[in-house]
Amino acid sequence: MVQLNLRTIHHDRDAFGEDADQFRPERMLHMDNIPEGAWRPFGVGMRSCIGRAFAEQEMIINVALILQRFQVEMVDPSYKLEFLVTMTIKPKDFKIKVRRRPGRGMDVGLYATKAADSKDNHMVNGGPTDKSLLILYGSNAGTCQAYAEELASEAGQYGYHADVKTMDSMVERLPKDRPIAIITPSYEGKPADNAKKFVAWLMSNRNSGMLHGIKYFVFGVGNKEWSQTYHKVPKQVDMLLEAMGGERIIETGFVDVESDTTGPFEDWRDKVWATLSNSKPTASKTLQAKITKGTTTQTLAGFSNPPGIVKKNITIADESVGPSKMHMEIELPESVSYQTGDYIAVLPFNHRDDVRRVIARFKLNSDDAIHIAETRKEFLKTDAPISVHDLIASRVELTTPITQRQLKSLAERTKDEKEKENILKMSGDEWETTLKRRFSVIDVLEDHPSCELEFADYLDMLKPITARQYSISSSMIDHQADLHQARATITYDVHDTEAWCGNGRAFHDVASSYLADLKPGNEVRCTVRQTNSGFHLPKDPMTPIIMICSGTGLAPMRGFIEERAAIQKARGQKLGPALLYYGCRDMEKDYLYKGQLEEWEKQGVVSLRPCFSKHGTEQDQFKYTSDRIYAEKEECGKLFGDGAKIFICGSASKIARSTAEMCMKIHMEHFPDCTREEAEKWLDGIKEDRYVSDVFG
């Protein structure tokens, strides 16, 4: 009898290399190079199971179909592989989340007639192609993905076929036979969730020279309010690609999302095509919109996020000291769960007044039917006519600031000379003012009635409507209606005010005005998205926490406190200290959840440290959280020395900046020889797990 030790065979370093003990599925791509007999899968040989080959093919087909139809991401990007051993070996507690790939219907990959195949085939090109381009993106909120798809939509005009993929999907797989575009953001100096592995791979191989022959170019997205980490990730990716032997063939482009989000991208995009193609774009079909009279309004399909149900939507602070603030409770779709600190991502509808303005400007009717053809913009495509109202309300951004190019394009279509001259001024000498006043395309059209812009051309100027993220202000432990259905709450400002562009117009923030109009029982287009992996309560309830926030930045902190209260109630467990530094204007008018917070303080769940910038009591001597933290630095310092974790939520330019400055000031006072630069490095070093923030512009 001959017995084989299969475990030893499959860990043979001579056959599989020095990393034979590591789980690395990529090695299966090169099985032809492995010595015969080194790979003995279960069920091989004379007594093999006849179904094994069928099972292998079935797995390959199923995985291919999943990847063809969906974008797949790990629920927990920080997941470490653990095995669950039963009859077979499988990963323990490993979960994925999937999103329908843009433009991919449920029938993609199924057998169909040739006519149907032709209709559903949407390679990203618009003309004859003989060259390939790979476009990689990292994106949490969808901005960089939209940039990538827009770049790809033009590829065919220049003789290129473009593939669009996430950065993580191409780890160790960068091709050398085509140029590579990388479009990536920087979230407080960290990469997007679907770019983390890619950046880590580059960093671990920075001196390898393994990318010789790679030709690449980078476009970076950032927010200047995060001054310490502004464009850190795209610059880092650019530097690492070059250090590993790659050749940068186009100057790196950057955009600030707090300013003109389109103009810098358009300029960089022109450089891309000027570099990659010496010829002018091939004649491609322009967007065509056929409008016919309709009698009914169709609800648009294709939004993959299942709807939640609004259970409560109430005002908790009025407009007397700033934007009104509301509290919404949402019943989530069945089996959808979240961790305290996560987001609710809401895909809104445009405000009805803005939709009416567009319909009136182009002399349309709400129930007119429209069919979009000949466009590579997936968000505009319609398989069948839909109503003009539905298209404008649910698919496009109406209030995005107009770009210089769009202004020049409108000027060319304007008949009145004075109006034309004014539009050219807006795009020229007065551009900075135009940008600050945030004129949209429809604003300019209304102010210049002699501009003869076709509705199809207007649609072609618009960006896809994107989801907005709101921090969850509840704990799932305390908000699970039953075993399969959870509830979540959000706390949000309602921005509904006079528009900066003037002329008597009102500004309706797309997402908050949509949410504010919802009533109990209404559906809300939403899903759960993970936050920064560090923005969760410590696993040990005895670990001290220091929470610093202002305004509706209280939302995730309320969730943390509610979870601590639930843990205390359920387990009767003692909790570590928790300080809440909360800044607002008026103790009577916008101290959110005041009664509830004070009740939790009585229970020993939290210690409240409120600060009121306008009106407090005589005992409230601090207007701002940073001032109170400094005054109580001994207490905070002791907690930090005991392992406390610091959470920050609020404005990037205000509370995040002032808190960072205060922490560095305290650190330098504690260590007199510490320089400003060393203090910044210290703060950057503790941001991984001890000092985590969730801030907005």
How many whole angstroms from its chain centre is CA 134? 21
Those residues whose C-beta lies under 8 Å from the C-beta of residue 122, and which sit 6 or more positions away, are 103, 376, 378
Q: Which of 476, 492, 475, 645 is nearest to 562 (CA)?
A: 475
pTM: 0.68
Between 123-127, 139-143, 554-558, 689-693, the lowest mean confidence (pLDDT) is in 123-127
Is 489 exposed, middle or buried (CB count within 10 Å of its CB: 0-12, 13-18, 19+)?
buried
Q: Which residue did the predictor score with more confidence, 396 or 5?
A: 396
For residue 307, is pLDDT > 90?
no
Query: Both tokens of residue 388?
Result: 């003009």
Average pLDDT over residues 130-145: 87
For residue 552, is pLDDT > 50?
yes
Residue whose pair of structure tokens reads 């002018």 in the numeric block? 280
Average pLDDT over residues 179-196: 90
For residue 227, is pLDDT > 60?
yes
For residue 180, is pLDDT > 90?
yes
Give the pLDDT score at 218: 96
In 122-141, which positions are buried (b, 16+ CB within 10 angstroms) versus exposed (e)?
A: eebbbbebeeebbbbbbbbb
Average pLDDT over residues 101-116: 43
Percent of the chain's residues with pLDDT above 70: 87
125-276 and 545-696, same CATH topology: yes
Average pLDDT over residues 520-527: 91
For residue 484, is pLDDT > 70?
no
Average pLDDT over residues 295-304: 34
Number of neighbouring beta carbons within 10 Å of residue 24 = 12
CATH fold for domain 125-276: Rossmann fold (3.40.50)
CATH fold for domain 307-351+467-529: Elongation Factor Tu (Ef-tu); domain 3 (2.40.30)
Number of neighbouring beta carbons within 10 Å of residue 254 = 16
pLDDT band, residue 283 (cuts 50/70/90): low
pLDDT band, residue 282 (cuts 50/70/90): low
Q: Which of 227, 258, 341, 257 is nearest to 657 (CA)?
A: 227
Q: Return the H-helix or E-strand segment holding 169.
A: none
pLDDT band, residue 562 (cuts 50/70/90): very high
For residue 645, is pLDDT > 70?
yes
CATH fold for domain 545-696: Rossmann fold (3.40.50)
8 Å CB contact between 512 and 552: no
For residue 306, is pLDDT > 60?
yes
For residue 300, is pLDDT > 50?
no
pLDDT band, residue 618 (cuts 50/70/90): low
C-alpha torsion sign, points 633, 580, 549, 568: positive
Largest CA distance in the chain: 98
Give the pLDDT score at 367: 86
8 Å CB contact between 303 and 347: yes
Pairing of strands 247-248, 215-222: parallel
Query: Both tokens of residue 318?
Result: 């009025």
Query: Both tokens of residue 214?
Result: 């790679």
Give the pLDDT score at 250: 92
Number of neighbouring beta carbons within 10 Å of residue 433 = 11
Those residues whose C-beta lies under 8 Å from the C-beta of residue 689, and which sit 6 or more positions away, are 534, 645
- The CATH classification number of 361-461 equals 1.20.990.10
Query: Both tokens of residue 89?
Result: 């070996």
Domain ranges (residues) in the chain = 1-40, 51-106, 125-276, 307-351+467-529, 361-461, 545-696
8 Å CB contact between 124 and 151: no
What is d(CA 663, CA 680) in angstroms, rounded to the nearest whole number? 10
For residue 255, is pLDDT > 60?
yes
Give the pLDDT score at 114: 34
For residue 578, is pLDDT > 90?
yes
Give the pLDDT score at 119: 31
Percent of residues in the chain assigned helix, strand, coil, to nearest 5:
35, 25, 40
For residue 481, is pLDDT > 60?
no
List, edge to edge, every strand of the sheet that includes 487-494: 468-471, 343-346, 523-529, 307-317, 324-331, 487-494
